[in-house]
Amino acid sequence: MSTSFKHSLYVDRESCKGCTRCMKQCPTSAIRIVQGIAQVDPEKCIDCGQCMAVCPHQAITIKGEQFNTIFSYTRRVAIIPSVLIGQFDEEVTEQMMIDAIYDLGFTDVFYAEFGIDILRTLGNHISVYSDSLPVISSYCPAVVRLIQLSYPSLLSHVNLVKTPSQITSMYARSALENEGVLPEEIGIFYISGCAAKVAQVLNGPSARKELMSGTLNLDTLVNMMQPLLSKPSRSDKPFAISHPLPPITSSSFLYSVTGGESAGMSGRKMAIDEIHNVIEFLDLVEDERLSPVDFLELRACDTGCTGGILTVRNRFCATERIRYSGSKHPEELPPDVAKRITERGQDLLYHLKSERLTSKPALSLDENPIKALKKLEKAHAIEQILPGLDCGLCGYPSCRVLSEEIVQGNTSIRSCSVLKMNSPETLNRLEKIWGSLPRTIRDA
């Protein structure tokens, strides 16, 4: 199936054992087991990383840039999430981490969440831009794609302001070009802790060179930083250089953990994490069974970004470290930093709003609404015949999905292993009299 969306997750066919764990965990039923190998439907995948998290064979991996790619640029900018700080024990100071990132070859470092401070400096009224209440955060790209695929009626609720990392990237590029650096000499790389943000950089506004040049996986960067952190202190070196910490306020530093974004929003708000919880909650919103709320912070990962698939430390320990480190940052930006932001204001304000989102109804059975309804009726009739065990032996995650695939002509009722084992004569009779589908379904 063709798709213009570029995904970050892929299956290593040599390592996959067809164990079905990824298929069972996938929240959008995007995975099938075909001839003993997992296959991902690109039209249904939201790059949440749930499959990768449960795979016992490391058969699902994330595409990422080779680190040496950064050296194609004269100015090499690292956009780091505060989640990176949470990956290290207390004895590794924030300053040590920043120094290590510079030692790796970067020439400039910004916190991704600095974008929130940019918004606040330019005027807090522009931090939310949506057509309907409750406003749904656009911070988590997996949630945004989920809404596009499964909840198109809620698209008018999604905040259309660019994400903090995108805003920070815009600011970094504008500031460097103002120094006289040529655009082609600037390479901006986002350090991603999850698959969805890697995919976000591959698609949409982030894919254009004026925003970001690529991504680096957070776990890869952490591993590269480790030997630099274990070196003796620089204090005995005559020309030791200690790079200043990138500017960021305390509240912005906490933005990526559960409750961090909603804490800065006015009115009634809620924060929900973990993708299956998010789906349950979006069902309530779509059915209008939610009490009046002004803002919804939705995150695909448990505990927020500290639960990302590319993080290396226990998410609860990482969250505590981030909260502690955040408390050490100032509540307001230094005046000189705020001034520099204001000077770049006109360059930024015009580009803060994202493009309007469109639906991607991959779960529809047909583009024609009338045909889709008929197919849905057929699928429901098939599902009543199936055993309802959702065992996955057929290679599909549930009897409902199997029934939909039968209607689409991708398989037949004979795919059901339970019917084969428990009622082979009935199954043969169905096929002999009606073909691969029961008559009531075939004639509908």
Q: Where are the domains of the chain?
A: 1-61, 67-349, 365-444
Q: What's the distance, CA 41 to chain centroid?
A: 17
Sign of CA dihedral 407, 413, 415, 419: positive
pLDDT tens digits, residue range 310-334?
999 999 999 999 999 999 999 999 9
pLDDT tens digits, residue range 233-287?
554 444 456 789 999 999 999 999 999 999 989 899 999 999 999 999 999 999 9
Give residue 291's pLDDT band: very low, low, confident or very high (50, 70, 90): confident
Strand partners, 186: 75
Domain 1-61 classification at class level? alpha beta
Strand partners, 61: 10
Domain 365-444 classification at class level? mainly alpha
Q: What is the mean pLDDT of residues 71-77?
A: 97
pLDDT tens digits, residue range 322-369?
999 999 999 999 999 999 999 998 888 888 888 888 887 766 677 787
**What's the whole-number average pLDDT of the chain?**
89
Q: Is 202 helix (H, G, I), strand (E, B) or coil?
A: helix
The rounded distance, in Å, linking the Cα atoms of 34 and 396 is: 9
Q: Determine which of 85-94, 130-139, 414-423, 431-440 has the lowest per-residue pLDDT on average.
A: 431-440
In 3D space, the residue among 178, 183, 175, 153 whose CA is nearest the CA of residue 73 turns out to be 183
Sign of CA dihedral 35, 38, 40, 45: positive
- Enter the tokens of residue 328: 């050490």
Burial (0-12, 13-18, 19+ Cβ within 10 Å), 200: buried
Percentage of the chain exceeding pLDDT 90: 67
User: What does the angle CA 11 – CA 12 – CA 18 come to, to the nearest 5 degrees?
Assistant: 75
Strand partners, 217: 192
Q: pLDDT at position 56, please? A: 95
Give residue 126's pLDDT band: very low, low, confident or very high (50, 70, 90): low
- Enter the tokens of residue 56: 């016992």
Q: Which residues are CB-contacts of 6 (< 8 A; sequence separation ≥ 6)? A: 199, 202, 203, 207
Sign of CA dihedral 333, 335, 339, 340: negative
- Enter the tokens of residue 363: 């779960």
Q: Which residues are CB-contacts of 149 (< 8 A; sequence separation ≥ 6)? A: 28, 43, 44, 46, 359, 360, 361, 362, 363
